[in-house]
Amino acid sequence: MMKSFLVMMIVTVVLVACSTSPTGRKQLMIMPESQMITMGVQSFHKLLADTPQVKDASINEYVQCIGNAITQLPEVQAVSGDWEIVVFDDPSANAFALPGGKIGVNKGLLTVAVTPAQVAAVMGHEVGHVLASHGNERVSQSFAANQGLALLDAWLGRQDNQNQAAIMSALGVGTQVGVLLPFGRTQESEADTIGKELMARAGFDPRESITLWQNMARGSNGAPPEFLSTHPSSDTRIERLNENMASAVVLYQQSGKRPQCKR
């Protein structure tokens, strides 16, 4: 009975959650987009309450200028017509974008991304996660894994204990490394591809995305091995960014835009 229910659950998830990313990759998508927007906005408000924001007007105007060039693109407006960009007073070189049109940039990013185009590469990448619904995909994977493991555990309770331990151990490792880590390497590479095109369409030279990751590589001493990381290594990232760079440069040249973002 439990085994039949497990099979029915898996089939239902597959049928309901079929989706395709902007790059043509199949995705598991369970959550309604309205719920993802609610989660994104709530998370952003919590960050605003818990993290100090930069007060320097020149820094805020600089990041806003870059962000606005990206968020005004039609494909980005289609996701949200009212993007909010905040610079957090945090020394780590990081940024994020959330469903609901929320973008956060840490002040520390500006020590590594030292030109507007390099900042645009990061912001375009983060917006790429939203355009590709990677948050929904990750939440859906987590839900499916947790529910599936609970059902499988109940069914395996009737089986040989030694087999159960071996199977659950294998599933546990697969879940921790392959499913539930934030933004896996495939998603990161996909966001790089989308971000490269976004920055080019917004008028930022996509070739500077390579320089950005060269800067990142110089500051990543002691980084974990690529196999255990959710992000591709800097060398792998640069190699993949170079793929189809010529077409991105054409988009940049055809955009006719050159945002004048200065600190």
Give the residue numbers marked as catalytic. 126
**Which amino acid type is present at position 113?**
A
Cα(122)–Cα(263) distance, integer angstroms: 17
Long-range interactions of 175-180: CB distance < 8 A, separation 24+: 175/145, 175/149, 177/228, 179/141, 179/142, 179/145, 180/138, 180/141, 180/142, 180/145
Cα(185)–Cα(198) distance, integer angstroms: 20
Give the CA radius of gyration of the chain.
21
